[in-house]
Amino acid sequence: MLNDIDHIAIAVRDLEAAISYYKNAFEAEVEHREVISNDLVEEAMVKVGESYVQLLCPTGPDSTVAKFLEKRGEGLHHVGYRVTNCSEALERVKSLGFAVLDENPRPGSRGTTVAFIHPKEAFGTLIELVQV
């Protein structure tokens, strides 16, 4: 079901500084930027092969990413796996009784359809199912 790693998300305090770091250290370029208002975050997608590093910065104090930065500091926030059918993949996880954060798929950035799975039963890793 997991076709590819779509992105690895890293929570950062200063988006411009993180973009500069990837550019200077690795000559890696931002391919897409977007404010995801539902999640109160701004993303910069840095291209890595066919995948991305999603640099993620809160747009306000109520963002769960702001809470994450406060509690845990900057670092790995979640892994996004590319799936063919987000709804089917989510239903499977739900039918097995694992906790999810989205009962139904919803719009993500770049016109994707996404659903988040709770980290508590996923061995401490927040998972995003991404249908491109």
The contact set with Co ion (CB under 5 A) reads 9, 54, 80, 128
Q: Does 108 bind ligand CMX (CB under 6 A)?
A: yes
Do strands 113-117 and 4-11 pair parallel, antiparallel, or not at all (unpaired)?
A: unpaired
| Identity at 29, one-letter amino acid code | E
Per-residue contact flags (x/-) with ligand CMX for residues 6 to 45, judged by CB under 6 A: ---x--------------------------x--x-x----
| Residue count (the chain) | 132
Q: Which does 109 bind (CB under 5 to 8 A by kind): ligand CMX, Co ion, none?
A: ligand CMX
Q: How far is the CB of 87 from ligand CMX (least distance, A)?
A: 17
User: Scanning residues 77 to 106, which ones bind ligand CMX (CB under 6 A)?
Assistant: 77-78, 101
DSSP lists the bridge partners of residue 60 as none
> Do 91 and 66 touch, CB atoms closer than 8 A?
no
CB nearer to ligand CMX: pick between 78 and 82: 78
In eight-state DSSP terms, residue 13 is S
- Retrieve residue 102's tokens: 């989205």
